[in-house]
C-alpha cells in the first residue's frame, strides 16, 4: 500500500486543552445539547466543519503583508482578479465576504418571486437566499445519489431527465437559471462528473437558460474527475477546472473552502448586464467592487490559496485523510455514505443507531455522544 504523508511541515502550534468527561457533560448541558453553542476551547478535536478553519501556508502569510488597503483599485484586487480569471475564464469578477453573500446578490438581482432554480442539491445558504426572495429551490439529484449505501463514482450528479422534465413543466420563462454544486456538499460531498456538467449545459442551451455553478469545492471536484473519469487522468487539476468553468455562465464561491482562507467569497459572470446588476448590489451590500467586503490582505491570501488548492499533492493528502477515517469505520462496521466524499465522512446515524426512532433524533444523539465520550465536535 502506498503511504501518503502530509505534504507540509507545521511551523506554528496552537495549544489544545483537553477537558474531562464530566466537564464535557456539563458544557453540553449548558449548551442545551447543541454543539454549535459549545466553546471551541472545550472541543479537543473540532470536526464541525473545515469551512475557513484551516491553517494558511507560508506563501499565504507572506502575501498578507503585501496587502494594499486602498479603498479603490488596490493591486491586491488585480492579483485576485488575475488568478480567478485564469481558473474560471470569466469576464467579470467580484469579491464578496462569503459564499452566501454572492448567493444573496445572485438571488436578489436575477430571480423574481415565483421563479424556480433547479440544482443537483442546493446548499442550505443557497436555498435560504432563494426562498427569502420567493424563488423555489429545487433539488434534482441523480437516482444513485439518494442511496447512502450504493457505491458509484459520481453520486453528486444532476438528474438530466428530471431537469428537462422540470423545464417543460414549469416553462423556460420561470427558470432564470439552473445551477450545479461541485462537489455536492448537501449529498455528502459527492462529486459531479464532467460528462454530467456537459449534459446539463446542453439541456440548458437548448432552452436558452443560463448555467450558474456553485464552485466552493471546484479543486476537490477536479481531483475526483482526474481520478475517476475516463479521459482526464493525464490532465492537470487546473486544466480540468478550466474545462468545468468553460460550461458556466456565472459562478458563486466560498473562499473558505477551496480558497484555503479563513474568510472570503466571489461572484463571477460573463454577461455584461448581469455584471452591472451584480456591481450595483455589491456596492450596497458588500463594498466597492475592488474589495467587496474583504481587506486587501484577504484578497492576497485567497489568490495564493486558490492555486495551492490545485496542487495535486495537497488534494491527494486531503483525500487520504478522509479515506483513512472511512477505513477505520469499515473495520468497525459503522455505516456511512458510500463512497466517502471529498471533505468529510458522513455517518448514517439512522442506520448506525436503529434503536433510536427518527423523531428521537439519532443524528443529534450520535453527535452528543461523540462529544461526551471523545471530546470530538461533529455536526
Ligand atoms: C460553504 C458553502 C456555501 C456558503 O459559503 P459561506 O462562505 O459559508 O457563506 C455555499 N455552497 C456550498 C456548496 C458550500 O459548501
User: What would the pLDDT profile of 208-227 be if each residue is shown by its tens digit?
Assistant: 999 999 999 999 999 999 99
What is the distance between the alpha carbons of residues 37 and 374, in angstroms, rounded to a whole number? 18
Q: Where are the domains of the chain?
A: 21-50+311-377, 70-308
Q: Identify the weakest region by mean pLDDT among 22-36, 101-115, 117-131, 336-350.
A: 336-350
Grid coordinates belonging to 4: 501518503
pLDDT tens column, 220-258: 999 999 999 999 999 999 999 999 999 999 999 999 999
CA of 256 to the centre of ligand 1 (A): 8
Contact 158, 140 (CB under 8 A): yes
pLDDT tens column, 268-322: 999 999 999 999 999 999 999 999 999 999 999 999 999 999 999 999 999 999 9
Regarding the beta carbon of 265 and ligand 1, being less than 6 Å apart is answered: yes
Average pLDDT over residues 19-27: 98
CA of 257 to the centre of ligand 1 (A): 8
Contact 242, 208 (CB under 8 A): no
Regarding the beta carbon of 125 and ligand 1, being less than 6 Å apart is answered: yes
Grid coordinates belonging to 29: 448541558
Who's near 115: CB < 8 A, 6+ residues apart? Answer: 134, 135, 136, 174, 175, 176
pLDDT for 324 equals 93
Q: Give the ligand 1 atom nearest the CA of 100.
A: 9
Regarding the beta carbon of 88 and ligand 1, being less than 6 Å apart is answered: no
Predicted confidence band of residue 328 (pLDDT cuts 50, 70, 90)? very high
Helix residue spans in 32-98 (DSSP H): 58-64, 75-88
Predicted confidence band of residue 345 (pLDDT cuts 50, 70, 90)? very high
pLDDT for 85 equals 98
Q: Give the ligand 1 atom nearest the CA of 185.
A: 13
Grid coordinates belonging to 144: 444513485
Ligand 1 mutation pick, 52, 100, 285, max ligand atoms within 8 A of CB: 100
pTM: 0.95
Q: Please check the confidence at residue 365 and state whether its pLDDT lies above 90.
A: yes
CA of 251 to the centre of ligand 1 (A): 12
Average pLDDT over residues 123-149: 96
**Degrees, nearest 5: CA angle 211-90-70:** 130
Grid coordinates belonging to 182: 461541485
Contact 160, 134 (CB under 8 A): no
Average pLDDT over residues 50-63: 96
- The whole-chain average pLDDT of the chain stands at 96
Domain 21-50+311-377 has what CATH class?
alpha beta
CATH number, domain 70-308: 3.40.640.10
CA of 100 to the centre of ligand 1 (A): 6
How many CA atoms lie less than 13 Å away from 92 in the CB half-sphere? 19
Each as own residue / partner, the long-range contacts of residues 286-290 (CB below 8 Å, 24 or more positions apart, any chain) are: 286/95, 286/96, 286/97, 286/101, 286/105, 288/71, 288/72, 289/94, 289/95, 290/72, 290/73, 290/74, 290/77, 290/95
Regarding the beta carbon of 181 and ligand 1, being less than 6 Å apart is answered: yes
Q: Please check the confidence at residue 107 and state whether its pLDDT lies above 80.
A: yes
CA of 206 to the centre of ligand 1 (A): 29
Contact 145, 155 (CB under 8 A): yes
Contact 307, 83 (CB under 8 A): yes
pLDDT for 1 equals 56
Which H/E stretch holds residue 350? helix 349-352
Cβ neighbour number for residue 258 with a 10 Å cutoff: 28
Distances, alpha carbon 13 to alpha carbons 9, 50, 83, 118, in Å: 11, 18, 30, 44
For a pLDDT cut of 90, what percent of the chain falls above it?
94
What is the distance between the alpha carbons of residues 314 and 62, in angstroms, rounded to a whole number? 19
Regarding the beta carbon of 256 and ligand 1, being less than 6 Å apart is answered: yes
Average pLDDT over residues 122-141: 98
CA of 322 to the centre of ligand 1 (A): 20
Closest protein CA for atom 8 of ligand 1: 99
Average pLDDT over residues 51-56: 95
Closest protein CA for atom 11 of ligand 1: 123
Which H/E stretch holds residue 366? helix 362-374
Ligand 1 mutation pick, 102, 106, 180, 185, max ligand atoms within 8 A of CB: 185
Amino acid at each position: 500500500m502506498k503511504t501518503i504523508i502530509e505534504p507540509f511541515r507545521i511551523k506554528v502550534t496552537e495549544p489544545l486543552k483537553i477537558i474531562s468527561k464530566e466537564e464535557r457533560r456539563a458544557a453540553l448541558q449548558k449548551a442545551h445539547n447543541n454543539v454549535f453553542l459549545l466553546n471551541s476551547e472545550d472541543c479537543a478535536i473540532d470536526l464541525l466543519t473545515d469551512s475557513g478553519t484551516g491553517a494558511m501556508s507560508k506563501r499565504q502569510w507572506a502575501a498578507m503583508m503585501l496587502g494594499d488597503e486602498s479603498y479603490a483599485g488596490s493591486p491586491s484586487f488585480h492579483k485576485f482578479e488575475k488568478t480567478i480569471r485564469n481558473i474560471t475564464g470569466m469576464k467579470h469578477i467580484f469579491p464578496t465576504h462569503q459564499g452566501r453573500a454572492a448567493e444573496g446578490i445572485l438571488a436578489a438581482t436575477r430571480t423574481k418571486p415565483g421563479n424556480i432554480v433547479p440544482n443537483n442539491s442546493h446548499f442550505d445558504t443557497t436555498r435560504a437566499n432563494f426562498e427569502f426572495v420567493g424563488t423555489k429551490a429545487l433539488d434534482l439529484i441523480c437516482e444513485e445519489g439518494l442511496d447512502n449505501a450504493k457505491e458509484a463514482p459520481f453520486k453528486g450528479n444532476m438528474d438530466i431527465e428530471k431537469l428537462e422534465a422540470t423545464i417543460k413543466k414549469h416553462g423556460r420563462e420561470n427558470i432564470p437559471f439552473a445551477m450545479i454544486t461541485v462537489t455536492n456538499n448537501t449529498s455528502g460531498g459527492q462529486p459531479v462528473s464532467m460528462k454530467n456538467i456537459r449534459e446539463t449545459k446542453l439541456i440548458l442551451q437548448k432552452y436558452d437558460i443560463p448555467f450558474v455553478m456553485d464552485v466552493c469545492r471546484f479543486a476537490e471536484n477536479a481531483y475526483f474527475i482526474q481520478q475517476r473519469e475516463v479521459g482526464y487522468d493525464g490532465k492537470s487539476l487546473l486544466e480540468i477546472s478550466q474545462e468545468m468553468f468553460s460550461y458556466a455562465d456565472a459562478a458563486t464561491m466560498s473562499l473558505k473552502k477551496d480558497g484555503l482562507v479563513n474568510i472570503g467569497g466571489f461572484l463571477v459572470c460573463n454577461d455584461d448586464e448581469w455584471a452591472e446588476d451584480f456591481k450595483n448590489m455589491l456596492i450596497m451590500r458588500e463594498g466597492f467592487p475592488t474589495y467587496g467586503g474583504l481587506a486587501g490582505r484577504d484578497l492576497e491570501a485567497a489568490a495564493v490559496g486558490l492555486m495551492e488548492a490545485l496542487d495535486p499533492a495537497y488534494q491527494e493528502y486531503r483525500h487520504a485523510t478522509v479515506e483513512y477515517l472511512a477505513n477505520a469505520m469499515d473495520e468497525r462496521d459503522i455505516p456511512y455514505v458510500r463512497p466517502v466524499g471529498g471533505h468529510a465522512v458522513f455517518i448514517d446515524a439512522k442506520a448506525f443507531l436503529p434503536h433510536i426512532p427518527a423523531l428521537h433524533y439519532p443524528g443529534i444523539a450520535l453527535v452528543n455522544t461523540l462529544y461526551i465520550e471523545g471530546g470530538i465536535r461533529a455536526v
